[in-house]
Amino acid sequence: MYDNWEELEKSIEECKKCKLCNNRNNIVFGEGNKEADLMFIGEGPGADEDKQGIPFVGKAGKLMNEAFKGLGIKREEVYIANIVKCRPPQNRVPEEAEAVACLNYLRNQVILVKPKIIVLLGSTALKNILGKEYGITAMRGKWIEKKGIKYMPTWHPAALLRDENKKIEFWKDLKEVANNLNKM
């Protein structure tokens, strides 16, 4: 673990700790306010993110940007990262070994940002951060507090594109997050 961003960012350059390194164009480290109260964790880069090296810039990112706008949150106020930093082929779910190999980077990011609230976007984020015993359908919309951080699991924005009901729930969960943040 590093106590500063410079060393952490340097440590990930040319990372080959898992096989996702073989097909990537860019490592998508994460971006945003390095002292954010609110952090978002997704699954892994898609094609657009891999091309640009920035998280949530494709279709799912557009939905996130709309959500930020609706909540009155500026994207640059929050910190955004993913479970794996390199794109899985065909956007498949990251394998256990890939997530395990990559997770220390994310843990270090969380330690440096020190967020009060972390929104877990979808099953991959939920299971890798809080434990395999958690399921997104049962847990979404429910606060889970661990080591001084409040976690809010919700749907991954990509899931909203296929299901109107999930859109309503996603919006409700993020409203709850924004309300809580305003009270802190």
Q: Which of 85, 127, 140, 156 binds ligand SF4 (CB under 6 A)?
A: 85
Q: Which residue lies nearer to ligand URA by CB, 77 or 184?
A: 77
Q: Which of 17, 59, 150, 167 binds ligand SF4 (CB under 6 A)?
A: 17
Give the three-class secondary structure for 43: coil
Q: What is the DSSP string of 68-123?
A: HHHHT--GGGSEEEES-SSPPGGGPPPPHHHHHHHHHHHHHHHHHH--SEEEEESH
Check: CB of residue 61 under 8 Å from CB of residue 48: yes
Q: Which of 2, 5, 9, 15 binds ligand SF4 (CB under 6 A)?
A: 15
Shortest reach from residue 146's CB to ligand SF4, in Å: 23
Residue with tokens 């082929």: 89
Strand partners, 152: 119
Q: Which of 43, 98, 110, 126 binds ligand SF4 (CB under 6 A)?
A: 98
With binding defined as CB under 6 A, does residue 84 bind ligand SF4? yes
- 153-182 positions binding ligand SF4, by CB under 6 A: none
Identify what 86 binds: ligand SF4, ligand URA, none; CB under 5 to 8 Å per kind. Answer: ligand SF4
- 24-63 positions binding ligand URA, by CB under 6 A: 42-46, 49, 55-56, 58, 60-61
Q: Which of 2, 5, 11, 12 binds ligand SF4 (CB under 6 A)?
A: 12
Q: Which of 36, 39, 64, 101 binds ligand SF4 (CB under 6 A)?
A: 101
Distance CA(19)–CA(67), nearest Å, equals 33
- In sequence order, the 6+-apart residues with CB closer than 8 A to the CB of 124 are 43, 44, 83, 93, 94, 99, 156
